Structure 1
Amino acid sequence: MKRYGSVIGLGPDAIAEYKRLHADVWPGVLKMISACHIRNYSIFLKEPENLLFSYFEYHGSDFEADMKRMADDPETQRWWDVCMPLQRPLDTRAEGEWWANMEEVFHHD
């Protein structure tokens, strides 16, 4: 199992809509997240900076293949089409990232 954390901005006018969408995530999207071996997935919002922090645990054996499977899923693509315009990627993110990956510097079970 590997843990992942990432961060992205959220437009100030998008907070209510983002919360509404994530209060009722489409069942097909949730099913795909689970099918791609993602567990314990959470998104946190920090206001007034309007930063979203994502955390999940990956329990599979081929992260790249599972992320491609998710990205190729038509329902997930439609979900992203709704959510991505609300998000504000960080200028400091690495090339190819939408959500900026974060380094884990501490963990305690």
Structure 2
Amino acid sequence: MQRIGMVLTLNADKIAEYKRLHANAWPEILDMIKACNIRNYTIFLREPENLLFSYYEYTGTDYEADMAKMAADPKTQEWWSVCMPCQKPLDTAREGEWWIEMEDVFHLD
């Protein structure tokens, strides 16, 4: 199992919309997340900084292939098209980065 933590910011004027979207996440999206071997997926919001932190556990054997499968899914692309306008990458994001993966420096079971 691989633990993944990522960070992103939320546009201040889109917080309510983002919360509403995730309170009513589409079943097809939830199914795709599971089909791509992701478990224990959680998104945290820190206000007033509007910082989003996501955590999940990847239980598959080919992370890149599963992420490509998710990215190619038309329903996932539609979901992203409504969520992405709510978000913005950190100022330190590299070209093409959106959610920025974080280094796993400590874990206790």
Same fold (TM over 0.5): yes
**Structure 1 CA distance for aligned equivalents of residues 102 and 86 of structure 2:** 21
Gapped regions of structure 2 (runs ≥ 5): none
CA drift at 1:92? 1.1
Does 2:78 match 1:78?
A: yes
CA drift at 1:103? 0.6
Cα deviations by residue, 1:14-53 (Å, 9 ceiling, x for unpaired):
1100000000100000000000000000000000000000
- Over the aligned positions, Cα root-mean-square deviation in angstroms equals 0.8
Gapped regions of structure 1 (runs ≥ 5): none
**Residue 59 of structure 1: aligned partner:** 59
**Structure 1 CA distance for aligned equivalents of residues 87 and 20 of structure 2:** 14
Cα deviations by residue, 1:68-104 (Å, 9 ceiling, x for unpaired):
0000000000000000010010121234321011111
Aligned length: 109
**Residue 41 of structure 1: aligned partner:** 41
TM-score, with structure 2 as normaliser: 0.97
Which 4+ stretches in 1 moved above 4 angstroms?
none
**Structure 2 CA distance for aligned equivalents of residues 94 and 3 of structure 1:** 22
**Structure 1 CA distance for aligned equivalents of residues 70 and 84 of structure 2:** 15
